[in-house]
Amino acid sequence: MRRRALATIALSVVAFAFPVPIGATTLPGFQVDISDTTVQVGDTLTFTPIITDADPATPTRCQMWIEHYDPPENWVRMNVASDGCEPWTFVVPPGPLGQYVVVGRLYVGVSNGAPINTVLAQDQVVDLVAGGTSKPFVTNYPVQSWALGEIVSTSTPTYGVPLTIFPASPRTRQTRQSPRRSDPAAASRRW
């Protein structure tokens, strides 16, 4: 009886110290739907992650970003990630005119706190063209605008002169309940 109890404790410790990977047998499809491919400052833009053929028992995390890096001194980027893979809506902030690349990644499965696989969405392009009216930066994810004047207290910082760095836009309250709160098994699949 005592050996059986010790063996049970030992197996429990091993299972806790070396968690079993949670992964999909086949990888799902992934793409990011873009509400518009030509925008002006002040327009509202939405990126919607679309996951197909996903195993609901396998944890996933979506990451999306938009960036402009031509020429390199005008490089700007905004980047979001979510376990719930909610659409990302934001007001286009002032930035360099030209092509912006939209990148999507789907992280699938988890082992020792890290994703097992990554599914890449096809990169897409959004053109920021002249015109539009600057509006306050609003987003449903907690991400900072790339507009320098919205990040710091001056759009023309000078070496040696103090400046204030503003916090990221507050995330709007989500109306759905997180699966981590409603599903105890989901908590064990957490990143």
168, 143 Cβ separation under 8 angstroms = yes
Q: Which parts of the chain fold into alpha helices (H)?
A: 2-17, 148-151, 179-182, 184-188
Q: Give the tens place of pLDDT for each residue, 114-158.
A: 889 999 999 999 999 999 999 999 999 998 888 877 777 676 777
Strands annotated E in 42-162: 44-52, 60-68, 76-82, 88-91, 98-108, 117-120, 124-132
How far is the C-alpha of 66 from the C-alpha of 82, rounded, in Å? 15
Lowest model confidence (mean pLDDT) among 72-76, 111-115, 168-172: 168-172
Residue 7 lies in a domain: no
d(CA 62, CA 178): 15
| Per-residue model confidence as pLDDT tens digits over 41-55 | 999 999 999 999 998
Judge whether 75 lies within some domain: yes
Residue 146 or 104, more confident: 104
Contacts of 18 (CB under 8 A, 6+ apart): none
In a domain, 39, yes or no: yes
What's the predicted TM-score (pTM) here?
Answer: 0.71
Domains: count for the chain: 1
Give domain status of residue 2, yes or no.
no
With contact defined as beta carbons under 8 Å apart, do 135 and 42 qualify? Answer: yes
Is 85 contained in some domain?
yes
Whether residue 156 lies inside any domain: the answer is: yes
Which CATH number fits the domain that encloses residue 22? 2.60.40.10
4 in a domain, yes or no? no
What pLDDT does 11 receive? 41
What is the band of 22 on the pLDDT scale with cuts at 50, 70, 90?
Answer: low
Q: What pLDDT shows up at residue 179?
A: 39
By CB neighbour count within 10 A (0-12 exposed, 13-18 middle, 19+ buried), where does 107 fall?
buried
Whether 10 is covered by a domain: the verdict is: no
Domain extent for 111: 15-188
What's the angle, vertex CA 184, arms to CA 180 and CA 187, rounded to 5?
A: 50
